[in-house]
Amino acid sequence: MTQEASEQARRVGIWLIGARGSISTCVAFGLAGIRTRSLDPIGLCTVRDPLARLPLARLEDLVVGGHDVCARDLWASAAELVKERILTERILEAARAEVEAISSRIRCGTIDVLDRELPGADPAAVALGSTSPREQIAKIAGDLAEFRAKEALDSVVVVNLASTEAARPEQAEWARLQRLEAALDEGRSQPASILYAYAAISEGCAYVNFTPSLGSAIPALRELAQRQGIPHCGSDGKTGETLVKTVLAPMFSARNLRVLAWQGYNMLGNRDGEILTDAAHRAAKLKNKDEALRSILRDEELHSHVGIDFVPSLKDWKTAWDFVHFEGFLGTRMSLQFTWSGSDSALAAPLVLDLVRLADFSLQRGERGEMAHTSSFFKAPIAGGGHDFRMQFQGLLDYAEKHLATPSPAATEAPKTRSRTGGGLRRPSEA
Amino acid sequence: MTQEASEQARRVGIWLIGARGSISTCVAFGLAGIRTRSLDPIGLCTVRDPLARLPLARLEDLVVGGHDVCARDLWASAAELVKERILTERILEAARAEVEAISSRIRCGTIDVLDRELPGADPAAVALGSTSPREQIAKIAGDLAEFRAKEALDSVVVVNLASTEAARPEQAEWARLQRLEAALDEGRSQPASILYAYAAISEGCAYVNFTPSLGSAIPALRELAQRQGIPHCGSDGKTGETLVKTVLAPMFSARNLRVLAWQGYNMLGNRDGEILTDAAHRAAKLKNKDEALRSILRDEELHSHVGIDFVPSLKDWKTAWDFVHFEGFLGTRMSLQFTWSGSDSALAAPLVLDLVRLADFSLQRGERGEMAHTSSFFKAPIAGGGHDFRMQFQGLLDYAEKHLATPSPAATEAPKTRSRTGGGLRRPSEA
Amino acid sequence: MTQEASEQARRVGIWLIGARGSISTCVAFGLAGIRTRSLDPIGLCTVRDPLARLPLARLEDLVVGGHDVCARDLWASAAELVKERILTERILEAARAEVEAISSRIRCGTIDVLDRELPGADPAAVALGSTSPREQIAKIAGDLAEFRAKEALDSVVVVNLASTEAARPEQAEWARLQRLEAALDEGRSQPASILYAYAAISEGCAYVNFTPSLGSAIPALRELAQRQGIPHCGSDGKTGETLVKTVLAPMFSARNLRVLAWQGYNMLGNRDGEILTDAAHRAAKLKNKDEALRSILRDEELHSHVGIDFVPSLKDWKTAWDFVHFEGFLGTRMSLQFTWSGSDSALAAPLVLDLVRLADFSLQRGERGEMAHTSSFFKAPIAGGGHDFRMQFQGLLDYAEKHLATPSPAATEAPKTRSRTGGGLRRPSEA
Amino acid sequence: MTQEASEQARRVGIWLIGARGSISTCVAFGLAGIRTRSLDPIGLCTVRDPLARLPLARLEDLVVGGHDVCARDLWASAAELVKERILTERILEAARAEVEAISSRIRCGTIDVLDRELPGADPAAVALGSTSPREQIAKIAGDLAEFRAKEALDSVVVVNLASTEAARPEQAEWARLQRLEAALDEGRSQPASILYAYAAISEGCAYVNFTPSLGSAIPALRELAQRQGIPHCGSDGKTGETLVKTVLAPMFSARNLRVLAWQGYNMLGNRDGEILTDAAHRAAKLKNKDEALRSILRDEELHSHVGIDFVPSLKDWKTAWDFVHFEGFLGTRMSLQFTWSGSDSALAAPLVLDLVRLADFSLQRGERGEMAHTSSFFKAPIAGGGHDFRMQFQGLLDYAEKHLATPSPAATEAPKTRSRTGGGLRRPSEA
């Protein structure tokens, strides 16, 4: 009870990169609805046993802010989601005051150099994206520090929810932190997701990459996270079709049924879908979707295909059809097909809240580096491991049981201190 | 290598109840095809790591025999499967000699008292079914003993593959072995599946119940199995729609997505499907299919439905459509639907072979009672435990790893002896 | 242009039986939305060529009233449809004044004798349903006459949208008008739908039966309609799965592909779905759905099945899965399966508006009896003819072209007069 | 009766271009099966009323021959179809003698200049393809003349069943026959399908183009057909997904439901599918599939997509999934999705037989030019007209009724004479 009370006193910040996008909009209105008890926390696994028994930050104590590179209003995003029949006007009304507050905490971010021509881009974001990498990092880190100070936050978790960046060839400077620092000093341009992750980690924030962009996945930033004692996780939220895939594929494998072909067709009509019409942006996404499958089935002759098509009328309602052709005993040919139909943003938002709570918890416990126990949340978990969803999820349950068996109140002290002093704009590699 | 060699020398009998049904036909031709290397053992999990590393009976060493209550020929069943494009004429040709041998080992069984009017029933089976329970048991046990002796078998596994029996209300005499013995002595009629299981266990055979019928699931026979040192498992093979259900349902649970409705529509056109058009026969089947789901989702408000319709043209090609309606974050309504299309018999046959190998292995190792590690094979595992397929299968993998870590060559001696001397018609409760 | 002007001056009443049900609610709010130009008339075929060129009553000139047997409010129905994400709060707001007016025109109707125990039934409706058939007719006719007078309507179309009545065995008195009159005089109880249809036709109103209930389909009332010079049509709106069925089945027939099985599974969660959980109520519905198919495919060996299951969470969102198993050349087995997902009420409402405009047009033109050209709207067209949707629709197009080729301005005079004087409560068979 | 008898005496040749492909293989074995009464003529619409009442050539009297550019055997194609479970070994056995005869009538054809590198191409076909266009035509025409003479045929119908040619830009010489003749004289290379069609028409054979290749569709060859008095039809057989599309799309149009998106995903694993992996070959196919839809729905904002993916394991079993997203009344969003699963060749073969019978009939009746009444068979009917399948099929029924109403025995004389004398290698434009 004392612990409960002390937990309640903690204020945790969520800093959303892409804060006016549709996932962020669902996070904002969803949190408001949960707080006013007009919505149930459906879709969050951290509200169920055994995770619910961990002393995670309370949903009521989360404070939302963020960066965006588009000038449009959070209300405009919400109105779109009402038209798509994801949000309702009732939910909007109930959350008005709260969402105004969130709106006031959104700052202009930096735009990826390859996305400068993006329609609707905020000129200020383009201008910031044209400054040196160090300047961009300083701006981002400054916004984070201001957020922490102004809102009197005990800790901050940065979540990348921005649209997928264009894929890039591997750079030598990503391999080691020292090289990355040198490249930044020389002013060599970097993907925006790397700059955000760098700023977040240096600033003592936990970091979650929900997108297929690079973020903290490059070795240089993993090194930085280790050095700074920061937990981080990613990449690419496993919300829909890939989730089902990684649930079903192990069944074929367990039963030694030979999958001959697995064709996956995804249709999407929101901003993310639009950006994925561009081949460079689509590449990373498709790679993750296919790799998960191949890793589970391990059959070199498997014929697999994943497509994503932009279908404007579907908006956020991702619809996917998968066809699995397999061989059974006696050479018989059988099939399983499924159609998934769900709101991508409403599926993603609760996972974001789960990850924020878990990342904050790891930060409190002094766990540093890749959060291997979160692999069930991602299409391409940066800590590696298998893609079999049920086994990944078992890892999370085991993590919870382990912590429940050995509570460590002392450990919660240190990070608080660290997160407070961890602020400022020191170059972490000099620490 | 020495072990390999000694294993090769073992001859294991499979005694199929329902030996001319379509699953049995697939078992017979499949085994022949595997032996002649014209078919791959697809669909058997015991040929894959880690199970493949256990010293299980070789597929080449299995000897098939069985009981049936219909007079039709095994070749007639095979010809039907060729017409249904499950077997091919090529497979038939290759297996001719072998299947002739199997044919010659099929004996007339006893028919369940409630199925006497079944069209196509062998009059001899009806006649046997009209004798006292003890006489029926004696006939069955005699056939098993003859099979063991004539084929010089090291052990025998009896598998129930007969059509589903009509459901019965719970009987008091099923609760304890002593009571059952008394009831048998008094000549009180029992479901045929109980008589077969009693005979098998008394005769020292391992017992596998692949149907929803009672078989060894009643407490009295569990007691008998314990006393006789016999491993057994069941009930109701998890081959298709329920398999997929118990793979998908844990996903919704893990992600805390609220399943509002789960509607399952099964269509089937084979003899099993025909028998299930009768309400009494259908009851047990549907109960298992629904219970698995409810056990995983644990939501009392869940609206679920399972139907089985007889669609003659589909023959053995079970086609099922499931519709899952669920609620996500923000009260959004989403859906997942799947269509499963597979040959029921070709899905079942390899599982039968897996179970025979595992049951024989347990017998060798002196493991008695319910084979809890086989729960992934069944809709209603008699050893209980959860229905989450991936967890059930993990149990099987763990079992294999445990045995691989601690080989016990000595244990293989005893059962051989026992199985040889276990024959005869002693009343087991007197042992 | 003069004609246009004179058409604009006509006021046409729509009298909805079941005026607070979900279809009626969609009609009311849809008309309001169309009038305020906030909604497009999507789903109405009378707004497209060639039907749009007929001088039909303008949507702006329709005046809505009706009967209901439940006491609940029209706004409560609307609020439910908002929760189901069919209507939006924006649509509600825009229609507030108009819908208040409609609300004030709803009268308490009479409840079918077999539905008196219906939960939520208005006690006044139950009381009315307990009076003699003649009294019930008088009350209904009185409400219609009052509606016509008070709203200064040029004509009135009565539409049956009430929940499906329980099926009844054929009655001898339904065969001839004289016998029916005698039965009414004797006070013999009749299905409510017959009483409503009798009242409507006697009162000079055109009559549309959108439900599977009997309504004007019995020979006695067809005779009455002929005598009174009243056009009428029905039965059972073809809105979803059956529509698709009667579009697809002719393809198999045209291509001489042999349909072996056609399984249709419907799921529905609204009040209609709930009533259909009762076998007596379900019978009529299923008969129509299956008959349409059999009439097109004409194969006696066809195995077909139609089911309707109540799935509460789906509410008005009818979801249906159909599986068609067919044989092609060389004995090959193929399949077509489809999933239909649509709002039943939003599909029905525009058809109601089309039928009202067509019925009023027939009334103006002095066309009496069954409106054979409307068969494309119904699962069981009372005028008979085939069920092939495309051919039925061609009949409607041909009807329009015929009228466009031979306009008859004179004909529009007579009915106006008739409809005005046609009121009152004369017994029509005495006319 | 006398007419029947005289009809029976006629011998009609079918000359298949692509005579060892899978459709041709199904034609050959199917005909043999029908002749021996081991197969029903399922899938042929000409065996049903009213077409069955036309004095069409009897299936028993059709004599098959053809060209191919691959050296493989007809039996190899058949064996493949057995493995794919389309043909059975029983069907093969029954047809052995007959198919040997067909085999002996297959000649080496000419390969399209853009397909010379095709794996498996017969060197003789490549050599022929390298000669001048006039030489190629002479060779083809010679084979046709020889076939007619040797088999004592009353008429010959040439059917293009070859794999889809690579698409070409429009050529000026295709616009007028005179220009084409000049181009041929000059030795300008032409697509093989044009050379075959030219040879067939000059040789007095009716011509059917079942592929998306150009064939007789170019104005120059239409002119030639008119001049020679030859009936011809095409292009691109409407066998599966497009058939369903053109059946369903008119429903949305009739009901004024606004189709927002129509996504079609086709999967195919046979040789045709393999060739379509090449963009140039795929272009023509996709164009036809999409155009049919757009022509029916006429909505410029419609978002539509058609894809064809090569999925080797499916072989000839085309599987297609279509998703239709549409808007109904009140702005509601609904969907219809279907999965089609059929053997492409078994669907095509009976249509080929129908077309041969109809083309021969037209030839007998002296009907020249595009056979407009066959539009229901094609994705891109060369006579134009709408794509609404039901209306197209009505056109065929009307054609039959017209001929049944006015039999013209005299007309049957002329063509016989013509077809016999029409042989030889005259340049038709000089005729």
Q: Does D90 touch chain B (CB under 8 A)?
A: yes
pLDDT tens profile A90-137: 889 889 888 999 999 999 999 998 888 888 889 999 999 999 999 999
Whether the per-residue pLDDT at A265 is higher than 80: the answer is yes
Biggest CA pair distance of chain C: 69
Query: What are the chain A neighbours of C90 within 8 Å (beta carbons)?
Result: 89
pLDDT on residue A185 = 97
DSSP string of C86-128, one letter each residue: SS-HHHHHHHHHHHHHHHHTEEE----GGGTT-TTB-HHHHHH
Residues C215, C251 within the same domain: no
Q: Does residue D256 sit at the C interface (CB-CB below 8 Å)?
A: yes
- Do A134 and A76 share a domain, yes or no? yes
Overall average pLDDT of the A263-267 stretch = 95
- For D243-259, what is the mean pLDDT? 97
Is C312's CB within 8 Å of B305's CB? no
Q: Are C252 and C326 in contact (CB under 8 A)?
A: yes
Mind listing the pLDDT tens digit for each residue in C275-289? 877 877 777 777 777
Beta strands A231-234 and B333-343, pairing class = unpaired
Asked if D14 and D354 touch (Cβ cutoff 8 Å), the reply is no
pLDDT for residue A394: 97
Q: Could you read off the pLDDT of A290-313 as tens digits, one per residue? A: 888 888 998 878 999 998 999 999
Distance CA D29, CA D38 (A): 11
Model confidence band, residue D71 (pLDDT cutoffs 50, 70, 90)? confident
Question: How far off is chain B from D85, nearest CA to CA, in Å?
Answer: 6
Tell if the CB–CB gap between D311 and A321 is shorter than 8 Å: no
- On chain D, the residues whose CB falls within 8 A of the CB of B85 are 85, 88
Query: How far is it, in rounded angstroms, from Cα A65 to Cα A76?
Result: 17
Contacts of A365 (CB under 8 A, 6+ apart): A403, A408, A411, A412, A415
Look at residue A419 in the predicted model and tell me its pLDDT: 37
Neighbours of B131 (CB within 10 A): 14
Subunits in contact with chain B (3 or more CB pairs closer than 8 Å): A, C, D
Per residue in C165-216, pLDDT (tens digit) is 988 899 999 999 999 999 999 999 999 999 999 999 999 999 999 999 999 9
Whether the complex's predicted ipTM surpasses the cut of 0.90: yes
Between residues A175 and C89, the one the model is more confident about: A175
Alpha-carbon distance B165 to nearest alpha carbon in chain C (angstroms): 26
Determine the 3-state secondary structure of D121 from DSSP.
Answer: strand
Largest CA distance in chain D: 69
Interface test with A, best of D266, D299, D325 (most A CBs within 10 A): D325
Residues C182 and C117 in one domain: yes
Tell me: pLDDT of B29 over 70.
yes
DSSP secondary structure letter of residue C374: G
Q: Are residues C250 and C367 in the same domain?
A: no
CB atoms within 10 A of CB A230: 30
CB < 8 Å & 24+ apart, contacts of B97-105: B98/B28, B98/B31, B98/B32, B98/B35, B99/B28, B99/B29, B99/B32, B99/B74, B99/B75, B102/B19, B102/B28, B102/B64, B102/B65, B102/B74, B103/B73, B103/B74, B103/B75, B105/B63, B105/B64, B105/B65, B105/B66, B105/B147, B105/B151
Residue B414's pLDDT band, with cuts at 50, 70 and 90, is: very low
What six digits make up the tokens of B216?
Answer: 């060894």
Q: How far apart are CA B66 and CA B103, in angstroms?
A: 9
Chain C environment of A339 (Cβ under 8 Å): 339
Choice among A52-61, C119-128, C404-413, D298-307 with the minimum mean pLDDT: C404-413
The β-bridge partners of C233 are C208
- pLDDT, residue D409, reads 57
C contacts of A82 (beta carbons < 8 Å): 88
Domain count, chain B: 2
Residue D319 and residue A323: Cβ atoms within 8 Å? yes
**pTM for the whole structure:** 0.92
Residue in chain A nearest C82 by alpha carbon: A88
Q: How far is B91 from chain D (nearest CA, A)?
A: 12
| DSSP-based helix, strand, coil % in chain C, nearest 5 | 50, 20, 30
Q: Please tell me the distance from the alpha carbon of residue A197 to that of residue A393, in angstroms, as a whole number.
A: 26
Q: Do D254 and C43 touch (CB under 8 A)?
A: no
Closest-CA distance of chain A to residue B341, Å: 5
Lowest mean pLDDT among A402-416, B181-195, C96-110, D326-340: A402-416
Per-residue tokens: C316: 């008005």
pLDDT at C85: 86
Q: For residue A177, what pLDDT is reported?
A: 98
Chain B: give the shortest CA distance to residue A430, in Å: 41
Residue B56 maps to which CATH number?
3.40.50.720
Average pLDDT, chain C: 90
Residue C227, Cβ density class (10 Å: 0-12 exposed, 13-18 middle, ≥19 buried)? middle
Tell me the β-bridge partners of C65: C15
D78 touches chain C (CB under 8 A): no
The percent of residues in chain B predicted with pLDDT above 70, rounded, is: 92
Contact predicate D279/D324, CB 8 Å: no
Nearest CA in chain D to C317: D334
The confidence score (pLDDT) of residue B408 equals 64
Model pLDDT, residue B363: 97
A89: closest chain C residue by CA:
C89
Q: According to the model, what pLDDT value does residue C421 have? A: 32
Q: Beta-carbon neighbour count of residue A186 at 10 Å?
A: 11
> What per-residue confidence (pLDDT) applies to A430?
39
The pLDDT of residue C94: 87
Identify the band that residue B362 occupies on the pLDDT scale cut at 50, 70 and 90.
very high
- Contact call for D247 and C251, based on CB within 8 A: yes
Bridge-based pairing state of the strands D317-327 and D303-310: unpaired
Q: What is the mean pLDDT of residues C383-396?
A: 96
Tell me which of D392 and A415 has the higher pLDDT: D392
**Is B328 in Cβ contact with A42 (below 8 Å)?**
yes
Claim to verify: residue D123 and residue D205 sit in the same structural domain: yes
Interface test with D, best of A86, A241, A265 (most D CBs within 10 A): A265
Output the CA torsion B366→B371→B372→B373 (10° steps): 80
CA B373 and chain centroid, separation: 15
Pick B30 or D284 by higher pLDDT. B30
If you average pLDDT over every residue of chain B, what do you get? 90
Q: What residues of D are in contact with residue A263 (Cβ under 8 Å)?
A: 265, 267, 309, 311
DSSP D57: P
Does C337 contact chain B (CB < 8 Å)? yes
CB pair distance less than 8 Å for B312 and C337: no
Burial label for C322, CB within 10 Å (0-12, 13-18, 19+), is buried
Q: What percent of chain C has pLDDT over 70?
A: 92
Looking at the structure, tell me whether residues B187 and B253 fall in a common domain. no
D183-190: which pairs have CB atoms within 8 A and are 24 or more residues apart?
D183/D133, D184/D133, D184/D134, D184/D137, D185/D134, D187/D132, D187/D133, D187/D134, D188/D133, D189/D113, D189/D133, D190/D133
DSSP state letter for D166: P
Which two structure tokens, joined as six digits, stand for D205? 């054979």
CA geometry: angle B386, B392, B397, nearest 5 deg: 155
**C247 Cβ under 8 Å from any chain D Cβ:** yes
pLDDT at A407: 67
Q: CA-to-CA distance for B385 and B220, rounded, in angstroms?
A: 20
CATH code, A283: 3.30.360.10
User: What pLDDT, on the 0 to 100 scale, is given for residue A167?
Assistant: 86
Q: Is D182 on the interface with C (CB under 8 A)?
A: no
Most confident of A405-419, C68-82, D176-190: D176-190
- D141 and D180, same domain (yes or no): yes
| Residue after which a domain boundary falls, among D342, D360, D385 | D342
Region of D293 on the Ramachandran plot (φ > 0 left; ψ -120 to 50 alpha; else beta): alpha
Residues of A in contact with C89 (CB under 8 A): 88-90
Whether the Cβ atoms of residue D238 and residue D209 lie closer than 8 Å to each other: no
**In angstroms, rounded to a whole number, what is the distance separating the alpha carbons of residues A384 and D283?**
41
Q: Is D258 helix (H, G, I), strand (E, B) or coil?
A: strand
Does B85 sit within 8 Å of D89, measured CB to CB? no
Q: What pLDDT shows up at residue A54?
A: 96
What average pLDDT does the segment B272-287 reach? 78
Average pLDDT of chain D is 90
Q: What is the mean pLDDT of residues C314-326?
A: 95
Closest-CA distance of chain B to residue C259, Å = 10
Residues of chain D numbered 186-225 and touching chain C (CB < 8 Å)? none
Do A258 and A298 lie in one domain? The reply is: yes
Does C350 sit behind a cis peptide bond, omega within 30 degrees of 0 on the bond before it?
no
B251 with A247: CB under 8 angstroms?
A: yes
Question: pLDDT tens digit string along C294-305?
Answer: 889 987 789 999
Q: Which residue of D has its CA nearest to B86?
A: D85
Q: Which H helix or E strand runs over D400?
A: helix D389-405
Length of chain D: 431
pLDDT tens-digit map of B187-210: 999 999 999 999 999 999 999 999
Contact: B248, A243; criterion CB under 8 Å? no
Q: Are residues D317 and D372 in the same domain?
A: no
Asked, as a colleague might, if the bond just before A216 is cis with ω within 30 of 0, I would say no
Chain B interface test: which of D88, D315, D334 (most B C-beta within 10 Å): D88
pLDDT value of position A1: 37
C393 touching chain B per CB within 8 A? no
pLDDT at A409: 57
pLDDT digit string, tens, across residues A66-76? 999 988 889 99
pLDDT at A4: 45
What integer is the mean pLDDT of B279-303? 82
Q: Which of A206-210, B299-303, C77-81 has the highest mean pLDDT?
A: A206-210
CA distance A129 to A106: 17
pLDDT band for position A408 (cuts 50, 70, 90): low
Beta carbons of B89 and D88 less than 8 Å apart: yes
Give the pLDDT mean for B203-227: 97
Backbone angles phi, psi at C399, to 5 degrees: -60, -45
Which residues of chain D make contact with C247, given a CB cutoff of 8 A?
A: 247-248, 250-251
pLDDT at residue D408, as a whole number: 64
Q: Give dist(CA B354, CA B47) in Å, integer.
A: 9
Using the Cβ of B90 and the Cβ atoms of chain D, whether some distance falls under 8 Å is answered with: yes
Among B77, B99, B332, the strongest candidate for a mutation testing the A interface, having the largest count of A CBs within 10 A, is B332
Spatial contact of B91 and B40, defined as CB atoms under 8 Å apart: no
Considering the domain architecture, whether residues B36 and B160 belong to the same structural domain is answered as yes
Domain boundary among B305, B323, B342: B342
pLDDT digits (tens, 9 = 90+) for C209-256: 999 999 999 999 999 999 999 999 999 999 999 999 999 999 999 999
For D380, which DSSP code? Answer: S
By the CB < 8 Å criterion, does B49 face chain A?
no
Q: Are residues D37 and D117 in the same domain?
A: yes
C89 interface with A at CB cutoff 8 Å: yes
The reply to whether C86 and C196 lie within a common domain is yes
Q: Nearest Cβ partner of C329 from D26, D243, D389? A: D26
Q: How far apart are CA C162 and CA C67, in angstroms?
A: 9
The pair phi, psi for residue D364, each rounded to 5°, is: -65, -40
Which residues of chain D neighbour B340 with C-beta distances below 8 Å?
A: none
Structure tokens at A328: 């059974």
pLDDT in tens, D138-160: 999 999 999 999 999 999 999 99
Band (pLDDT 50/70/90 cuts) for residue B10 is: confident
Asked which of B313, B342, B371 is the last residue of a domain, the reply is B342
**pLDDT confidence of residue C263:** 96
| Contact present, A52 and A110 (Cβ < 8 Å) | no
Single-letter code of the amino acid located at A298: R
Q: What's the CA gap between A181 and A174, in Å, rounded?
A: 10
Beta-carbon separation of B85 and D90 below 8 A: no
Domain that holds residue C276: 241-342
Residues B89, D89: C-beta atoms closer than 8 Å: yes
Put simply, whether C52 touches D (Cβ < 8 Å) is: no
Q: Is B47 on the interface with A (CB under 8 A)?
A: yes
pLDDT band per the 50, 70, 90 thresholds, residue C116: confident
First to last CA, chain C: 38
Q: In what order do the strands lie in the sheet with C369-370?
A: C106-108, C62-68, C12-17, C155-160, C206-209, C231-233, C369-370
Q: What separation in angstroms does the CA of A168 have from each of A69, A212, A280, A290? A: 20, 12, 8, 19
- Per the listing, tokens 């932009």 go with A310
At residue C408, the pLDDT reads: 64
CB < 8 Å to C313, chain A: none
Q: What are the backbone angles phi and psi of residue D392, rounded to the nearest 5°?
A: -60, -45
Q: What's residue D425's pLDDT?
A: 33
